[in-house]
């Protein structure tokens, strides 16, 4: 006959059964942490999962205080503890007593530590990034000879720009010797004449598979490369330190080729566009130069010595004409004045006076202008001769008025 139990009785029975199973009381459990919640009480609740399953986990405060590393989602860990049932909800969960990093977790911590150190050095700074060339002469590829990466890059290159030359430097992309081989390949490719950009990459894989591209020697080789480097490692979700150090990151090798190889027709259109722009600029420049030369020629013509001399000569001739006119006018005025004075003098001269009936009286060869100068014998000068006169009497009077005296 079947038992009839309450839910609580069932959960308590299962809980005792789990607790009494030695295989479940002291258990090591491997998986990836997700949905981690750290409560104010200090207890941690999270899910431990693998590719196919998951289980609820709890790590109480007194236990997690002993964990020596920061715990985050995505970390792969190994737990020790026991499986139990939480009777209130009827869900079973793993009660973790200890936590240690799985191999992958150790890589993650190493990745984060190296990332922080290299970032502090400035290897990932945007200011260090070099622009990709618009039209590279040759593209260097550092990857495996047999992988799909070189095939994908070659396919895209032929499609987008037939005739673009690729140079392959084969290298290991996985394993203990991969990192120094990749670094050497980058340095060698940078010395190949004509290579203007380098693609470094491999296909997808686990963190362990991609680890060579997280090695410091590779990161520093990319940062020190004198020509631009495009990193195409793994898939879009994979981000390696090489991606951070590269001048450009591509999610896939196909995208890397698309970033490096321009489309032929787009390049031709760009060239035609630049040609038209240069032609317009050249024409505009010629017009400006022509206008400048015309202005300069006009200015030179205005300031040419012969023109300045001609202008000065014209001004001199004008001044000469004005001076001559002024001199002639002044001379004419002076001539008229001289004529007036001459006429006046002539009118006042002795000849004109004699012609009007006057006479000059001379006594002893000297003019007589007063009766006081008169002598007994004097000479009268007339218009047409002289008279010798004898003075019988002298009477002093105003010839034009009354008599003033008799001598």
Task: Compute the average pLDDT of residues 344-350.
Answer: 70
Instruction: Tell me the CA distances in angstroms from 377 to 56, 354, 393, one per residue in order.
Output: 181, 21, 11
User: Does 295 fall in a domain?
Assistant: yes
**What would the two tokens of residue 245 be?**
């150090």
Q: What are phi and psi of 133, to 5 degrees?
A: -70, 145
pLDDT at residue 186 greater than cutoff 80: yes
User: Does 125 fall in a domain?
Assistant: no
User: Does 393 fall in a domain?
Assistant: yes
CATH code where residue 37 lies: 2.40.50.140
> What's the gap between Cα 192 and its chain centre?
32
User: Does 120 fall in a domain?
Assistant: no
Task: Compute the average pLDDT of residues 24-33.
Answer: 86
Contact yes or no for 183/218 (Cβ under 8 A): yes
What is the CA angle 148-138-178, rounded to 5?
45
Residue 313: pLDDT band with limits 50, 70, 90? confident
**Across the beta sheet with 366-367, what order do the strands follow?**
366-367, 360-363, 377-381, 386-390
Q: What's residue 264's pLDDT? A: 87
| Co-location of 250 and 279 in the same domain | no
| Co-location of 288 and 328 in the same domain | yes
pLDDT tens digits for range 213-262:
999 999 999 999 999 999 998 766 668 999 999 999 998 899 999 999 98
C-alpha–C-alpha distance, residues 84 and 87, integer Å: 9
| Co-location of 257 and 273 in the same domain | no
pLDDT tens digits for range 59-87:
999 999 998 888 888 888 899 998 988 88
User: Does 128 fall in a domain?
Assistant: no
Secondary structure letter of residue 232 according to DSSP: E
- Count of other CB atoms within 10 angstroms of residue 15: 16
Domain count within the chain: 4
CATH code where residue 177 lies: 3.40.50.261
Contact yes or no for 242/219 (Cβ under 8 A): yes
| Co-location of 207 and 139 in the same domain | yes
Task: Report the b/e string of 193-218 with b at 16+ CB within 10 A.
Answer: eebbbbbbbbbeeebebbbbbbbeeb
Q: Name the domain boundary from 262, 282, 308.
A: 262
| Co-location of 143 and 41 in the same domain | no
Q: Containing H/E element for 133?
A: none
DSSP annotation string for 53-109: -EEEEEE-HHHHTT--S---TT-EEEEEEEEEEETTTTEEEEEEEEEEE-HHHHHHH
What is the CA angle 318-324-330, rounded to 5?
135
Range of the domain at 296: 264-332
User: Does 275 fall in a domain?
Assistant: yes
User: Does 342 fall in a domain?
Assistant: no
């Amino acid at each position: 006959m079947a038992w009839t139990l309450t839910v609580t009785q069932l959960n308590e029975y299962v809980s005792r059964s789990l607790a009494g199973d030695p295989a479940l009381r002291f258990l090591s459990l491997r998986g990836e942490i997700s949905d981690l919640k750290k409560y104010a009480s200090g207890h941690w609740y999270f899910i431990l999962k693998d590719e196919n399953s998951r289980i609820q986990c709890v790590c109480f405060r007194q236990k997690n205080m002993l964990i020596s590393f920061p715990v985050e989602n995505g970390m792969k860990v190994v737990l020790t503890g026991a499986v139990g049932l939480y009777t209130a909800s009827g869900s079973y969960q793993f009660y973790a007593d200890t936590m240690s990093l799985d191999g992958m977790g150790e890589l993650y911590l190493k990745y984060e530590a190296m990332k922080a150190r290299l970032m502090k050095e400035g290897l990932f700074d945007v200011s260090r990034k070099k622009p990709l060339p618009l039209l590279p002469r040759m593209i260097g590829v550092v990857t495996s000879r047999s992988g799909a990466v070189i095939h994908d890059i070659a396919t895209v290159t032929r499609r987008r720009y037939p005739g673009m030359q690729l140079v392959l430097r084969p290298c290991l992309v996985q394993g203990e010797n991969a990192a120094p081989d990749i670094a050497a390949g980058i340095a060698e490719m940078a010395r190949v004449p004509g290579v203007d950009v380098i693609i470094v990459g491999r296909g997808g894989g686990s963190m362990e598979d991609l680890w060579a591209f997280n090695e410091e020697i590779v990161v520093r080789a990319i940062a020190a490369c004198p020509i631009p480097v495009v990193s195409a490692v793994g898939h879009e979700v994979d981000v390696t330190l090489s991606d951070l150090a590269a001048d450009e990151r591509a999610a896939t090798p196909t995208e890397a080729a698309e970033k490096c190889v321009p489309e032929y027709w787009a390049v031709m259109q760009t060239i035609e566009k630049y040609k038209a722009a240069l032609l317009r600029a050249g024409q505009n420049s010629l017009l400006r130069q022509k206008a400048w030369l015309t202005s300069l020629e006009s200015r030179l013509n205005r300031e040419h010595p012969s023109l300045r001399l001609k202008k000065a000569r014209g001004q001199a001739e004008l001044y000469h004409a004005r001076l001559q006119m002024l001199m002639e006018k002044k001379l004419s005025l002076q001539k008229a004045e001289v004529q007036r004075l001459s006429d006046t003098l002539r009118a006042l001269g002795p000849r004109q006076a004699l012609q009007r009936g006057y006479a000059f009286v001379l006594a002893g060869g000297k003019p007589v202008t007063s009766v006081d100068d008169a002598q007994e014998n004097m000479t009268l000068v007339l218009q047409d001769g002289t008279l010798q006169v004898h003075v019988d009497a002298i009477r002093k009077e105003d010839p034009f008025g009354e008599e003033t005296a008799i001598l």
